[in-house]
C-alpha cells in the first residue's frame, strides 16, 4: 500500500512552524507562564497548601467539587468524583505539593521557553483537571492557549531556551546534534 502525504495548509504552516510568527507565541507563552507562576507562588506562600496545614485548601476544593456531582447534568462527572474521593482525598497533602510545585515549574518553563510544548501539555493537563472538578475561572482560557502552544511547539520557544536546546536534543524521529555520531 502506498503512503499518501497530505500537506499542511499554508496558514497552519505559518502559525505553527514559521519563526516570523514566533513573537506571537512569545507573548502567549509569557502570559500563560505568568498566570501559572502567580498561582503557584500564592499557593507556596500559603500554609494550607505547603507547610503545616498542607492539603487543607485542596481538601476544601475537592469537597466543593464533590458537592457538584448531583442532579441531571452534574458539573462534576461520577468517574471524576470517584478519582477525587478515592485517590486525591486520601493523599491530599501529596497532591497539594504536586499542584503547587507543578504550577511553579510549568510557569517557569513557559517563561524561560524551555521544553515549551511539554510545559504547555502539563499546564493543559492541570487546567483540564480543574475544569473536570467544576472550576471555571481562567482555566478555559489557559487551556485554549496551551493547546495552541502545544501545536506550535517547534517555534513557541524560539525566543527562549528551546531555540538552542531543541536542535541539540532533537526529536524521537530525528536525533539532535548532541546524539549524532561524529
Give the pLDDT score at 173: 84
Domain contains 70: yes
With a CB cutoff of 8 Å and minimum separation 6, the contacts of 182 are none
| Residues 93-105, mean pLDDT to the nearest whole number | 98
pLDDT-derived band at 1, boundaries 50, 70, 90: confident
pLDDT reported for residue 180: 80
Q: Give backbone dihedrals phi and psi of 68, rounded to 5 degrees, phi first.
A: -95, 20
173 burial via Cβ count (<10 Å: 0-12, 13-18, 19+): exposed
Residue 166 lies in a domain: no
Residue 101: domain span: 35-156
- Give the residue-averaged pLDDT of 127-136: 97
Residue 16 lies in a domain: no
On whether the CB atoms of residues 157 and 29 are closer than 8 A, the answer is yes
Give percent above pLDDT 90 in the chain: 93
Q: Is residue 177 part of a domain?
A: no
Band (pLDDT 50/70/90 cuts) for residue 109 is very high
Please indicate, yes or no, if residue 138 is contained in any of the structural domains.
yes
**Cell digits of residue 172:** 524521537
How many separate domains does the chain show?
1
Eight-class DSSP state of 21: G
Q: How many CB atoms lie within 10 A of CB 172?
A: 5
- pTM for this predicted structure: 0.93
18-55 residue pLDDT tens: 999 999 999 999 999 999 999 999 999 999 999 999 99
**One-character DSSP codes across 107-153:** HHHHHHTSSHHHHHHHHHHHHHHHHHTT--TTHHHHHHHHHHHHHTT
- Whether residue 182 is predicted with pLDDT greater than 70 in this model: the reply is no
Q: Is residue 7 part of a domain?
A: no
- Cβ neighbors of 155 (< 8 A, separation 6 or more) are 16, 17, 18, 19, 21, 22, 25
The verdict on residue 146 lying in a domain is yes
The pLDDT score that the predictor gives to residue 171 is: 84
pLDDT for the residue numbered 148: 98
Quote the mean pLDDT of the chain. 96
Pairwise CA distance, residues 96 & 48, whole Å: 9
Does residue 19 lie in a domain region? Answer: no
Residue 15 pLDDT more than 80?
Answer: yes
Amino acid at each position: 500500500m502506498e503512503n499518501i502525504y497530505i500537506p499542511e495548509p499554508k496558514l497552519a504552516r505559518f502559525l505553527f512552524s514559521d519563526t516570523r510568527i514566533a513573537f506571537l507565541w512569545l507573548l502567549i507563552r509569557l502570559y500563560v507562564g505568568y498566570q501559572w507562576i502567580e498561582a503557584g507562588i500564592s499557593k507556596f506562600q500559603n500554609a494550607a497548601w505547603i507547610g503545616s496545614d498542607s492539603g487543607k485548601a485542596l481538601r476544601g476544593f475537592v469537597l466543593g467539587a464533590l458537592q457538584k456531582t448531583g442532579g441531571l447534568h452534574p458539573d462534576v462527572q461520577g468517574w471524576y468524583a470517584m478519582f477525587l474521593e478515592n485517590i486525591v482525598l486520601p493523599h491530599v497533602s501529596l497532591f497539594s505539593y504536586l499542584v503547587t510545585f507543578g504550577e511553579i515549574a510549568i510557569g517557569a518553563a513557559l517563561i524561560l521557553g524551555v521544553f515549551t510544548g511539554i510545559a504547555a501539555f502539563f499546564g493543559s493537563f492541570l487546567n483540564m483537571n480543574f475544569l473536570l472538578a467544576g472550576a471555571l475561572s481562567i482555566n478555559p482560557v489557559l487551556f485554549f492557549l496551551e493547546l495552541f502552544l502545544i501545536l506550535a511547539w517547534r517555534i513557541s520557544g524560539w525566543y527562549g531556551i528551546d531555540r538552542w536546546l531543541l536542535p541539540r536534543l532533537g526529536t524521537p524521529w530525528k536525533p539532535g546534534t548532541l546524539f549524532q555520531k561524529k
